[in-house]
A and B are shown apart, each in its own frame.
Chain A
Amino acid sequence: MKSVKNIQKITKAMKMVAASKLRAIQTKAENSRGLWQPFTALLGDLPSADVKKNVVVTISSDKGLCGGINSTSVKISKGLHKLNSGPEKETKYVILGEKAKAQLVRDSKKDIELIITELQKNPLNYTQVSVLADEILKNVEYDALRIVFNKFHSVVSFVPTVSTVLSPEIVEREAESGGKLGDLDSYEVEGGETKGEILQNLAEFQFSCVMFNAVLENACSEQGARMSAMDSSSRNAGDMLDRLTLTYNRSP
């Protein structure tokens, strides 16, 4: 009984800690939401783009005890992999966070390009994420980057989301074929040597902005999920303690 009571105390404390961390990160995440919207207004979000080289960037947490959010991210990443496999097509993984690494290393070891952990050692900031984005872009060949993360809607609701960033060549291809991106040609591109150079910079900037927002949202979802997980375990511990106390008092 003593151990159950201790567990209840610990989980209650963990819930408080998660609540305070959540409050700190939530404002940051909400402020960063405006960052990717101009890109979507210009280039649209085309998850259905059919490309040869897919890279799935899975964002997860390093610490556990946060409910099911990491498993949902991994499930979606595996689903994307299956969706995009076929002749001449390949899908690679870039993994951020220990939890996704543990799950994906088991069956998809050969498809993993990069693994990055200990993301939250220092508080999340844009400089750190842009360096990360730089590393990924340098080391991985891609036609489309699909970033899988949990979007934070409220303390009890986190929705797994996929954001798609296309490489400049694919953007050109989609623009020529018309559809949502068809207006892109009507935009004058100022400066630089060639239009391609500016679009390349644009794609890289877009990737770092989308990553920044994704990482913050995932961190919020992690704290929120931990809060509800710890809350339910405190309640379970309380129930268990009551039952045990009754049994203890009843026995002679």
Chain B
Amino acid sequence: QESQASELPKYIKIVEVGPRDGLQNEKVIVPTDIKIELINRLSKTGLPAIEVTSFVSSKWVPQMADHKEVMRGIEQHPGVQYSVLTPNLQGFHSAIAAGATEVSVFGAASESFSKMNINCSIEESIEKFEEVAKSARNMNIPVRGYVSCALGCPYEGNVIPAKVAEVSKRLYSMGCYEISLGDTIGVGTPGSMKRMLEAVMKEIPLSALAVHCHDTYGQALANILTAIQMGVAVVDSSVAGLGGCPYAKGATGNVATEDVIYMLNGLGIDTGVNLYRVMEAGNFICTTLNKKTNSKVAQAFLNTGTIN
């Protein structure tokens, strides 16, 4: 059966997760002023959405302990949506008090992952998110829902597409405007991506879907291509491919924003993003972190002196 869209989307929204997902999974903890500088630079690239921090207890995620300072300290450019993670009602209130205008909640398609990651079952986590969604609705705050382990789990192994569809549907029904399907350990391939999306697309409208691919096995761009061929028009990525994989020591994690944009440019798909400015922001953060970029596009451009 042919689930390949005859035409690719004309426009794709890139959701930049580097400052949160990226920095949270880097070895080095970054000072607040550097985080703010990075976000301010990203705000000038044309990116329409930037995930800036996480209102999780600093006991669990020390890298994001400065969430209030970051939220208050960044320039908020018109035309850019700034979102923050809020795992529960307490985090939500704290985020709103700090000036957040959009929040995200993180579910998972695997019970084991949910228990190991946030110490509760999927059902219990959904109850917490419902509290957030309810408050958010009352305050007209949009909520984005993430589903982790959409193509595989570090503990359970295989994850069935029907489970991903079920969790996605719960998040969508509670009011999440968008569901980002995450290949958390990057094990997916175009084969499993297609099967998973076919199942989810039975429950969620295409326009409300996003893919969040990790490049741990080098499959991210091929998986993203598969998703956009099926009509998905929102893609998460991380500048310079920031953020390793916490489940595979030394391995890479997030797909690099630069590499995604390069591919979309080559396909004639509009993103509104200036690739060079993203590379410059990537160069800034990598220099600060004293690390090599994970973006192959940035690496290829680096020695020609094209990036400042």
Partners in one complex: no
